[in-house]
Chain A
């Protein structure tokens, strides 16, 4: 993410504002900016979602394909994350500029989803050691307005919740060979349970306080960030510090607490909205798509 130029007076203003719990747009230290969410935007993918968090815009598509399970988990399926920082987002991402950021985001997501209770990967296994579902989660960053990790995590969770995989049954045919049969009915599909999937909360340390959901200006004032992946019941599935500054152990503990609070609230609100969206499927659902 590009560093934007700021004067010293502006930085001081932002710093003092955060200390007083009144940020430059009136939010408190743990408030998110308004988020807009839509699922099922891409018809060719098994599941998709688009999230707009203030000026950040993220589009996620999930495609399921049949592949070989990984060696150390022969009975489980797997998820593969790929992030593409397109040059649409900011001219800095042209060519190979966005690669570092893309790698950071995809490895954080891989770490966050790597625990057995988040997503039931055993349900994605089909034949032990031979076939399993591989879910390719592809993330496209359309616009970069600060706080990308949070927006990406929300979009990934919504897209996975929206994913419909066709039902596969394993049969043995006359020659005693295993055969996979896909159901012909397009509506006969499995869904993925995302109740325990994590959301990422980025806590930026500015001065002596930390804030949630930093805007671009606030991000350029912060030297150090902690990203925490939190599930709805408060379990931390991954965490990572970032930035060239260092943190006090006590501040880390405070930040973990804030992250847990913000994360559980985010998860709850997201679940409620996803349910609301689900109910609308089948009735006249207006697809807003990409029109503003």
Chain B
């Protein structure tokens, strides 16, 4: 988006008020019954709503909603690559990922920053193995993903949404790609964390020796039919066994989401046929 010269620049030092309040959430992340703040079990994914064909002008598009997380993706192309040096026998894919400026707790800049650039590259690497690149030589496919509201697990939602959009565009693919996140806090693993759970840190500094030492966040992208993982991004601290466990849980959850995606794509095809 171009810079708006008529707008007064906000001073650099603005911060959202939440950071000055002394408010601390009163409920535990997971209460004694094993239920999380939104009533889910630890390994339960939020109910997912997927629609393909949300943007009529795009070649392919998709919209995903997982409780508070809303992501929309559009696919354009394949378009011929204009520069001669960029000709290759396999097609190229470009992916642009953006948080809408109002989507997160702190206001995002409208220019792509480093975090969004890195997430763009990550999503590209997650989606590329699924697309049959040799079917569109000398051409480029463009995928644009925007997060309208970040309620947690935005990356996983973006990966799923992006792959459904590519499928909706009629591109030949080996499989769909499903993203799933996990947050590990001490001994507990929470699937599909919300923003509170993602940004949770040890409440008191003296608490560090408690069992809250292991804090990690992992996002996995899986291609279910061929059982291949196209991407893993993990940060935090995990022991090697913890990492294996977390990986397994993410893969199991991703497989559970597969029927939802299939149903969504089937509905979209039916709708096109009826027209």
A touches B in complex, CB < 8 A: yes
For A245, give its contact among B129, B235, B238, B239 (CB under 8 Å): B129
Check: A244 CB closer than 8 A to any chain B CB.
Answer: yes
Q: How far is the CA of A106 from the CA of B213 in the complex (A)?
A: 25
How would residues 87 to 124 of chain A score, 1 for a CB under 8 Å from any chain B CB and 0 otherwise?
Answer: 00000000000001001101100011011110000100
- Which A residues lie within 8 Å of B239 (CB)? 234-236
Interface size class of A (residues with CB under 8 A): 35 or more
Check: A249 CB closer than 8 A to any chain B CB.
Answer: yes
Interface residues in B242-275 by Cβ distance below 8 A to A read 243-244, 247-248, 251
Flag if A244 contacts B240 (CB, 8 Å). Answer: no
- Which B residues lie within 8 Å of A72 (CB)? 19, 199, 201
For A103, give its contact among B121, B125, B236 (CB under 8 Å): B121
The interface stretch among A59-67, A162-170, A253-261 is A253-261
Flag if B235 contacts A257 (CB, 8 Å). Answer: no
Determine how close the nearest CB of chain B comes to the CB of A264; give it in whole angstroms.
10
Q: How far is the CA of A75 from the CA of B216 in the complex (A)?
A: 21
Least CB separation from A234: chain B residue: B240
Least CB separation from A257: chain B residue: B240
How would residues 199 to 229 of chain B score, 1 for a CB under 8 Å from any chain A CB and 0 otherwise?
Answer: 1011001001000010110000001001111
Check: A226 CB closer than 8 A to any chain B CB.
Answer: yes
Tell whether A236 pairs with B129 under 8 Å between CB atoms, given A107-B118, A117-B213. Answer: no
Q: How far is the CA of A115 from the CA of B216 in the complex (A)?
A: 9
For A239, give its contact among B19, B230, B233 (CB under 8 Å): B233
Majority-rule SS of A interface residues: mixed
Check: A241 CB closer than 8 A to any chain B CB.
Answer: yes
Tell whether A240 pairs with B232 under 8 Å between CB atoms, given A104-B118, A253-B244. Answer: yes
Check: B108 CB closer than 8 A to any chain A CB.
Answer: no
- Which A residues lie within 8 Å of B216 (CB)? 115
- Which A residues lie within 8 Å of B135 (CB)? none
Check: A42 CB closer than 8 A to any chain B CB.
Answer: no
Q: How far is the CA of A253 from the CA of B235 in the complex (A)?
A: 17
- Which A residues lie within 8 Å of B121 (CB)? 100, 103-104
Flag if B243 contacts A249 (CB, 8 Å). Answer: no
Check: B68 CB closer than 8 A to any chain A CB.
Answer: no
Tell whether A248 pairs with B129 under 8 Å between CB atoms, given A104-B118, A240-B234, A256-B244. Answer: no
For B227, give its contact among A240, A243, A249 (CB under 8 Å): A249
Flag if A122 contacts B235 (CB, 8 Å). Answer: no
Q: How far is the CA of A229 from the CA of B226 in the complex (A)?
A: 28
Flag if B125 contacts A241 (CB, 8 Å). Answer: yes
Flag if A236 contacts B240 (CB, 8 Å). Answer: yes
Flag if B125 contacts A115 (CB, 8 Å). Answer: no
Least CB separation from A74: chain B residue: B19
Flag if A103 contacts B117 (CB, 8 Å). Answer: yes
- Which A residues lie within 8 Å of B227 (CB)? 248-249
Tell whether A236 pairs with B237 under 8 Å between CB atoms, given A107-B118, A122-B205, A249-B247. Answer: yes
For A244, give its contact among B129, B234, B247 (CB under 8 Å): B129
Check: A242 CB closer than 8 A to any chain B CB.
Answer: yes
Tell whether A253 pairs with B247 under 8 Å between CB atoms, given A71-B19, A104-B118, A248-B229. Answer: yes
Q: How far is the CA of A242 from the CA of B228 in the complex (A)?
A: 14
- Which B residues lie within 8 Å of A111 (CB)? 235
Check: B1 CB closer than 8 A to any chain A CB.
Answer: no
Q: How far is the CA of A116 from the CA of B154 in the complex (A)?
A: 24
Check: B15 CB closer than 8 A to any chain A CB.
Answer: yes
Check: A56 CB closer than 8 A to any chain B CB.
Answer: no
Check: A252 CB closer than 8 A to any chain B CB.
Answer: yes
Tell whether A237 pairs with B228 under 8 Å between CB atoms, given A107-B118, A249-B247, A256-B244. Answer: no
- Which B residues lie within 8 Å of A274 (CB)? none
Least CB separation from B235: chain A residue: A111
Tell whether A237 pairs with B213 under 8 Å between CB atoms, given A103-B121, A245-B129, A249-B227. Answer: no
Check: B231 CB closer than 8 A to any chain A CB.
Answer: yes
Check: B128 CB closer than 8 A to any chain A CB.
Answer: yes
- Which B residues lie within 8 Å of A237 (CB)? 235-238
Q: How far is the CA of A247 from the CA of B125 in the complex (A)?
A: 12
Tell whether A117 pairs with B231 under 8 Å between CB atoms, given A242-B125, A253-B247, A256-B244. Answer: no
Flag if A248 contacts B19 (CB, 8 Å). Answer: no
Check: A246 CB closer than 8 A to any chain B CB.
Answer: yes
Least CB separation from B214: chain A residue: A235
- Which B residues lie within 8 Å of A103 (CB)? 114, 117-118, 121
Interface residues in B48-86 by Cβ distance below 8 A to A read none
Interface residues in A47-80 by Cβ distance below 8 A to B read 71-73, 75
Determine how close the nearest CB of chain B comes to the CB of A224; give it in whole angstroms.
8
Determine how close the nearest CB of chain B comes to the CB of A275; give it in whole angstroms.
25
- Which A residues lie within 8 Å of B232 (CB)? 226, 239-241, 252
Flag if A246 contacts B228 (CB, 8 Å). Answer: yes
Check: A194 CB closer than 8 A to any chain B CB.
Answer: no
Interface residues in B136-154 by Cβ distance below 8 A to A read none
- Which A residues lie within 8 Å of B15 (CB)? 71
The 9 closest A-B pairs by CB, nearest first: A246-B228, A111-B235, A246-B129, A246-B230, A239-B234, A71-B19, A107-B118, A115-B237, A244-B128
Question: Given known contacts A107-B118, A112-B235, what 5 new A-B pairs fall within 8 Å (CB)?
Answer: A239-B232, A246-B229, A247-B229, A248-B228, A249-B227
15 contacts between A and B (CB under 8 A): A71-B19, A103-B117, A103-B121, A107-B114, A111-B235, A115-B236, A115-B237, A116-B202, A236-B238, A237-B236, A240-B232, A240-B234, A247-B229, A247-B230, A252-B247
